[in-house]
Amino acid sequence: MVLSFLLRGVVAPAVVLIVMIVIGNRFWRLKDGRQADPLPALACGVALTVAFIAMFGWSGIPPKEHWQWILVTIWGATVAALLASNLSCNHALRLIVWLGFAIATAWLIHPTWEDYADERWLMIGVFSAIVFVNLEATSHISRERHGLSPLFMVTIGMILTSILVVNANQAKFAQICGSVATVLGILFLICLRLPKREPILGAMAMPSIMIPAMAFLAFYYFSDGETFPTEFVLAAVAPVMVAIMTLIPMGRLKEWQRFTIAQVVCILPIALGIAMLMMTQSAEDPYDYM
């Protein structure tokens, strides 16, 4: 099972991403280095699609099982990242588009099961608010102003989200989280060698949607619908924490000190969520994964 995941969920998307970025970097160049770069966002979307289909097969539209809407969510996140280049100068339009993506994502991820019927609108509202804030908060982050560290931070955030999901006994969703983290991490490493590409401005929309989507999906399958998803909310706001850390002035500190402080602060909410979940986890068999 582990080898299968490594081949399908890690190696396959990594190869697709590398090939697309290398070829795209040769033929797809930007006239203005300050604009959002559509290549990383598109490559991430294609790579994650390959990973999902390789691991779980084509789910169809509409899918047979609720969790399979995550493939549509992947492409929703990809489209949001691609649109970012056209929204940076139009504040009102950007807010409207982000709100639309937030509500649509929450609507898709929230199940229609009876256990969640009473809390349906509350949960959709909370989920929508988190995705909206994530998208807007990260829309100002760019490589030119902040370097590549924000991309590294959301990669770590995705890895920790997978740990949270595993502790919620949802191994299948943890595999998807692992694929997303792989794609973000490989993108970070590739762009270290490509100083003229902009992998952050716009592309941050991808983790801004995928982290809360995977956290809430795991909650729906883990919970009985009678508790508020505090632990999963703490994971879902990771992109906001990254955005906040880019705004805090730390000019007197050395670069490695700024990076360390930012990383620790960003992972604290998710680490707290993991600890809370481990302490309050039900007494069911911890190996009873999906």
Would you say residue 287 lies in a domain?
no
Query: What CA–CA distance (Å, rounded) separates 19 from 21?
Result: 6
What is the length of the chain?
Answer: 290
Would you say residue 168 lies in a domain?
yes
Would you say residue 230 lies in a domain?
yes
DSSP conformational letter for 202: T
Would you say residue 214 lies in a domain?
yes
Q: What is the pLDDT of residue 289?
A: 45
Would you say residue 289 lies in a domain?
no
Q: What is the pLDDT of residue 208?
A: 92
Helix (H, G, I), strand (E, B) or coil at 252: coil
Share of the chain above pLDDT 70, in %: 91
Q: What is the pLDDT of residue 36?
A: 67
Would you say residue 290 lies in a domain?
no
Can you give the pTM of this predicted structure? Answer: 0.89
Q: What is the pLDDT of residue 215?
A: 93
Q: What is the pLDDT of residue 103?
A: 95
Task: Let me know: does 39 contact 66? Beta carbons within 8 Å.
Answer: no
Closest CA to 134 of 73, 206, 72, 232: 206
What is the torsional sign of CA 237, 242, 243, 245? positive
Would you say residue 288 lies in a domain?
no
19 CB-side CA count, 13 A: 8
Residues of the chain with pLDDT under 70: 1, 30-36, 85, 88, 225-226, 251, 281-290
Would you say residue 151 lies in a domain?
yes
Q: What is the pLDDT of residue 283?
A: 45
Q: How far apart are the first and last CA of the chain?
A: 13
97 CB-side CA count, 13 A: 21
Count of the separate structural domains present in the chain: 1
Query: What CA–CA distance (Å, rounded) separates 285 from 138?
Result: 39
Could you tell me the residue range of the domain that residue 196 belongs to? 2-280
